[in-house]
Chain A
Amino acid sequence: MAKNPLLSREKIKTKYPDQWLLLEDCELDASTSLRKGRVLAHSKDRDEIHRALRKHSGNLCIHFTGSLPPDTGVIF
């Protein structure tokens, strides 16, 4: 099966808004931030991506294209 195309971080965000993604063949910049990757799986549900992770090995990347709602605070 043909591989998905290598997409930039910006393209990934546009094509898969508010989703969790599992990527392979990831390129990082000097600050360890994702620059490009090839989408293996995408979902609104993080658990689905964690399950997809079990089917793959090697050098992978999990990425979330959403953001917290503006009226939501974060305390860990």
Chain B
Amino acid sequence: MTRVIYDPSASSIVVDLLLEGADEGSSLLIPVVLDTRASLTIVATDIMAQLGYDPANPSLGRQRIITGSGVEYAPRTTVRSATAIGQKVANLEVLCHDLPPESGVDGLLGLSFLKHFKLTIRFRKGIIDLNKER
């Protein structure tokens, strides 16, 4: 069982997401909001570029996304692996999209990652458990 303790009084749940670079030997840990409303995992464009995924590549597919402020299009690519709350997903689809700096995060941990596991959030206690389904 893997568990994260967070501040239950916080206005959002922030966890660390470890992304493996396009080339072996590079990785980056970034803060992301756990967001069960987000279909895909979202990572800032600068971060994806640093990891060698080239979000400016015109051959990448573009995903239509509906945000709180309207409809936008963002490049979609696949990272070699992503790990959060002690659980790893290989070949995870990620959208390259920037969130405002005021958010305090570099992305969103969405359903494309979370759907692989059993997620339990105890909101009153500030406990997240993420486990493989049996």
Contact surface of A with B, Cβ cutoff 8 Å: 26, 28, 30-34, 45-47, 50, 53-54, 57-64, 66-68, 70, 72-76
Contacts and interface: CB of A to CB of B under 8 A. Distances in A.
Contacts of B85: 31-32
Nearest to B46: A50
Q: Chain A at the B interface: mostly helix, strand, loop or mixed?
A: loop
A45 B4 contact: no
A32 B31 contact: no
Given A32-B85, A62-B29, A68 B104 contact: yes
Interface of B: 2-4, 7, 10-12, 15-18, 25-31, 33, 35, 37-38, 44, 46-47, 50, 67-68, 83-86, 99, 101-106, 108
A75 B18 contact: no
Contact of B108 (A31, A67, A68, A76): A76
A6 to B, nearest CB: 15
A64 B2 contact: no
Given A47-B101, A61-B16, A74-B11, 12 more contacts: A32-B16, A32-B85, A32-B86, A45-B101, A61-B30, A62-B106, A67-B7, A67-B104, A70-B11, A72-B11, A73-B11, A76-B38
Nearest to B106: A62
A75 B7 CA distance: 18
B35 A76 contact: yes
A59 B26 contact: yes
B46 A64 contact: no
